[in-house]
Structures are given as C-alpha cells and as structure tokens.
Amino acid sequence: MAASEFVGNEVLATLSAHAGQADAEGVWPEASWLALRRGGVLGWCVPREYGGQDRGPVEILEGYESLAGACLTTCFLLSQREAACRRLRDSGNEALCRELLPALARGERFATVGLSQLTTSRQHTSPALRVRLAGEILELDGTIPWVTGADRADHVVIGATLEDGRQVLAVLPRDTRGVSVGPPLELTALQGSVTAEVRCERVLLERRWLLAGPAERVVMTGRGGAGGLETSCLALGLTAAAVSYLFDEARVRPELFARAENLDKVRQGLRQTMHELAVAAATPEKATALRAGANSLVLRATQTALTASKGAGFVRSHPAQRWARQALFFLVWSCPRPAAEATLDSLAP
C-alpha cells in the first residue's frame, strides 16, 4: 500500500515472514536485518562519498513506511541506526565520518542512539548521564536509560550534561572500559528491538569522539531533536498494514469498505503533509501536529483491524493483535511534551 519503488519485494517478504517473531522474542532479528543489508537499505541515508546512496528525504520516508508496514520491530531498529548515522553525517566531524560511515553503509557495523536523557526521558530528575571535560578527555558517569540494539552496537551516539547545564553529543564505542549494557527490557511489543539500559562508570573518552557541544540544548543543533518526521512515518507505515488488511477483509465483508476508505483518506492526507514537511524543513509546530495526527490514526486503524478480526485476531499468531500492541509504542516513543499533550487532549480532553 505504501509501496516504495526501491524497496525490493524480497526484503519486504522476509520482514513480513519474521514480523511476529521479531515482535515477540527478545533476540536480534537476524534474517530481517540481513535482508535490509542485502537490499541496500543500510546505504540510503549515507552520502555517496562515504559509500552510501544519498537518497532524498521523501524517498527515504517512503522506504521506511514500507518497511514499517512489513515489520515494525526491524524498521524501529533501523530508525535508531539511521538517527545515529544522521547525527554523524551532520556533525561536521569529517574524520569520524570517514572512519565510521562506510562500514555502517555496508552493514558491517551497527550504531544506535542513546539521546532521550536529553529530551524526553528523566527530564524531572537530575541529569541521568553526566560529563566532565578535562583537557582532551571527556569523563562520563551515569545511565543512558534507553538504547535500542545496545548489545549489538559497535557505537552509540550519546548525549550527556555538564555541571553547568550545557550538553555534548559524542560517539561512544560500546567496548570502552566502564560501559556496561543491561539485559534487554521486557516490553509490551517490539521485543526484538533488544532495548536496554547502558551504564557508564568513569568512562574516559577522547575528545575526537565529540560530535557537538558543549552547548545549550545540543540535540537541537544540526537537524533533529526528538519527535522528527521518522516517528510519524513509522506510525503511518503500521497504519498502512492495518488499513490494507481491512480492504482485504472488505472484499468478503463489504460493510468494512467505507471504514477502510475513511481511515485511508486520513492516512493519505498525513502522508502528503509529511512529504511536504520533509522538503520544506518542518517547523516544530507542524511536526507536532503531524505526530499527534499519526498517533491518533495508528491507534484507530489498528484497533479497527482488531475489532474486525474479532476473537481470531486476539490470538498471538494473528497480525491484528500485534499491530494493536505495537501502536501503543507511539504513545511513548520519542514523544516530546507538545506531542504528548496533543495526544492527551484527544484521549482525555
């Protein structure tokens, strides 16, 4: 439904075939990741000079949408890797780009992000991850509460806070002394994202790993911040899977057709907005409105699919129950305060 011309059918078929397992089991979805690698997906966002394909923003969003519809777990893992690649790519740290991006584009290495302690996690407590600058060395102490694919990562793009409140972004090689990865968290869905807490105990990092800062609200430097278009894009991809199921059912249950069509109309409208924002550089307000709309739609579409699939859809082997559980993820993932407020307004005005 949200077909992208450059995502091969084999890639989508492999992801679909393993989607139930990837959601339910706390292990890395090896076959699906290999399919991304073989299908060239890991080069999409990497510039050509570093061995990537340098795809345009709309093309990439279309690709993510297709992948999210096939397997949200794998696409979520990809999204965290893409976030790490974008931070590197846009950092201006040419030496690190040359060192890390080619192997990331080839899929020989995996990188992820641990940034939420600067944006949407632990904002009501003292900084979760602290950093001290001592000459050419950064000393890290504390917790990175959420790191997807942590155990598999060669590098984690992290954010930490100085005593004076300024922040830095840096690349943390996972095998650095003092870095430890907790066990995968038991999640409501997306278990194969192998998301874990990472602890840093007197971790010493050379300054060459620095990507940005020290600065106020460093995550907002370059392109980015929590709640970018990618999160909405994955929600729209999951919506497409549920709506496509409803259209299929409507072939023998015509009473479902109008409902599928109405949901699809909203989906297409949000998609159009997302593509416009991708080329025009989204303002935070517009990105928030899109996210709130995508959150509401993905909940409604997946719950409509579950309602239509009845008790059979509540059985673990049926995709409708998985889609409905996975839709809940968008209520909590990378949901900055304005987007969370807008979602709360629609749920509990």
Where along the sequence are the contacts to ligand FAD (CB under 6 A)?
80, 112-116, 120-124, 145-148, 187, 190, 193, 195, 332-334
Residue owning tokens 């060192």: 99
- Compare residues 23 and 62 and give the one whose CB is closer to ligand FAD: 23
- Compare residues 123 and 262 and give the one whose CB is closer to ligand FAD: 123
- Compare residues 146 and 209 and give the one whose CB is closer to ligand FAD: 146
- Compare residues 86 and 267 and give the one whose CB is closer to ligand FAD: 86
Q: How far is the CB of 84 from ligand FAD (least distance, A)?
A: 9
Q: How far is the CB of 259 from ligand FAD (least distance, A)?
A: 30
Q: How far is CA 258 from CA 74, 238, 262, in A?
A: 31, 20, 6
Residue 270: burial class (beta carbons within 10 Å; 0-12, 13-18, 19+)? buried
Q: How far is the CB of 247 from ligand FAD (least distance, A)?
A: 30
Q: How far is the CB of 11 from ligand FAD (least distance, A)?
A: 22
Q: How far is CA 53 from CA 50, 59, 233, in A?
A: 9, 11, 20
Q: What's the rounded Cα separation, in Å, for the pair 170 and 224?
A: 15
Tally of CB atoms within 10 A around 222:
16
- Compare residues 104 and 263 and give the one whose CB is closer to ligand FAD: 104
Q: Is the dihedral of CA 270, 276, 281, 284 positive or negative?
A: negative
Q: How far is the CB of 236 from ligand FAD (least distance, A)?
A: 18
Residue owning tokens 């641990």: 114
Phi, psi of 155 (to 5 degrees): -140, 145
- Compare residues 143 and 309 and give the one whose CB is closer to ligand FAD: 143
Q: How far is the CB of 115 from ligand FAD (least distance, A)?
A: 4
Please spell the DSSP secondary structure of 211-276, one letter per residue.
Answer: EEEEETTGGGSSS--SS-HHHHHHHHHHHHHHHHHHHHHHTT-GGGHHHHHHHHHHHHHHHHHHHH
Token reading at 283: 């303002």
Q: How far is the CB of 79 from ligand FAD (least distance, A)?
A: 9
- Compare residues 68 and 256 and give the one whose CB is closer to ligand FAD: 68
Q: How far is the CB of 119 from ligand FAD (least distance, A)?
A: 7
Exposed e or buried b per residue across 173-190, where buried means at least 16 C-beta atoms within 10 angstroms of its C-beta: ebebeebebbebbebebb
Q: Among 319, 275, 295, which residue's Cα sits nearest to residue 64?
A: 275
- Compare residues 188 and 272 and give the one whose CB is closer to ligand FAD: 188
